[in-house]
Amino acid sequence: MKIKFLVALAALATAVAGCVHTENGGHMFGTKLSQDTVQGRYERPMDEVFQAAKDVITVNGVLTTESTLHNETNAVKTLEGRVNQREVWVRVESVDPKVTAVWVQARTSRWESDIAEAHELEKEIALKLVR
């Protein structure tokens, strides 16, 4: 009986555990049981939005990685950092010369999604662009 229970528990853990795609094109251990990404669009040039995103992460936490994705059709820049003990990824993509899209993704140290943190950071990026 114990063996059957342990096998069932191991099967459940394997089914629930998985791999989550991050906004910088990577993967991390975790589950996609709930939304973890928020998107915003702004009528600003890409470099201005990217700088605002960098400033927001730096003010609220630590910026760990900054990169440019060259294998995309549009210009894409990404950021990775830690804010409030959360792993945070930001993807900034030029939709056209005047419009830029931003995706903010946040996950806890236990690999769970944190949509509230992602939304808060996206809102701060928008406020930074207004000032």
pLDDT digits (tens, 9 = 90+) for 32-54: 556 778 999 999 999 999 999 99
Q: What pLDDT, on the 0 to 100 scale, is given for residue 75?
A: 82
pLDDT for 2-36, tens place per residue?
787 777 666 555 555 555 655 555 545 555 556 77
Q: What pLDDT, on the 0 to 100 scale, is given for residue 102?
A: 95
Contact of 116 with 104, CB cutoff 8 Å:
no
d(CA 94, CA 92): 7
Contact of 104 with 81, CB cutoff 8 Å:
no
Give the global pTM.
0.77
pLDDT for 49-73, tens place per residue?
999 999 999 999 999 989 887 776 6
Domains of the chain: 2-130 (3.30.310)
86 contacts: CB under 8 Å, gap ≥ 6: 106, 107, 108, 109, 114, 117
